[in-house]
Amino acid sequence: MTTAVSQPGPQPSGSAAQRRADALRRAAQAKRQAATARAETAIRKLVKDQQEISFRAVARAGGVSLDFLYANADLRGRIEALRARQPARTPAAPAVPGPSQAGAGVVDALTARLREERATRLAAVRDLEDKLAAAHGEILRLRRVLQQHGIQP
C-alpha cells in the first residue's frame, strides 16, 4: 500500500534554493559581461597600438581565457576578422656590417637568402598556428554540443 506524502504550504528550502540559483546565475552573467568588456578593451588597445591580433594576444591583454574567447561567437568572429585583415609580419632584419673581405659578397648573398627563407617559414608557422587555434576552437564548440545532448566525448 502506497501513500502519497505531501507537505502543504510553501516550502522555504525550495524558495531559498531558487534564490541561491538566481543569485548564481546573476553572478555568472556579471562575470561573463565583465570578461567580455575586458576582451573588447584589449582588442581596441591592440588595434590602437598596432599590435598583432590573435586569440592569445587578446586573452593575455584582457585577462580572459582562450576558452572564453573561442566560446563567445561575437568576440571570436571579431578576432578572426581583425586577424585576417592584418598584414603578415616579418621580423626586422638585423643590421649587417659591410663587407670586410674579398669573399664577403657570397656571404652576404647567402645570408640574404637565408633571411628570406626564414621569413617564409615563420609566416608558414604563423599560418599553421592560426589554423591550429581555429581547430581547437572548433573542437571546443563540438564538445559543448555533445555535452548539451548528454554525450560524453
Domain range annotation of the chain: 26-87, 105-153
Long-range contacts (CB closer than 8 Å, 24 or more residues apart) made by 63-68:
63/38, 64/35, 64/38, 64/39, 66/133, 66/136, 67/140, 68/35, 68/39
Q: Do you know the residue count of the chain?
A: 153
pLDDT, residue 43, reads 94
pTM of the model: 0.49
pLDDT, residue 105, reads 86
pLDDT, residue 75, reads 93
Instruction: At 151, list the grid cell.
Output: 554525450
Average pLDDT, the chain: 84
Average pLDDT over residues 123-150: 90
pLDDT per residue over 19-59, tens digit each? 999 999 999 999 999 999 999 999 999 999 989 999 999 99
pLDDT, residue 132, reads 92
pLDDT per residue over 60-82, tens digit each? 999 999 999 999 999 999 999 99
- C-alpha pair distances (Å), 32 with each of 72, 121, 126: 10, 38, 30
pLDDT per residue over 105-134, tens digit each? 889 889 999 999 998 998 899 889 988 988
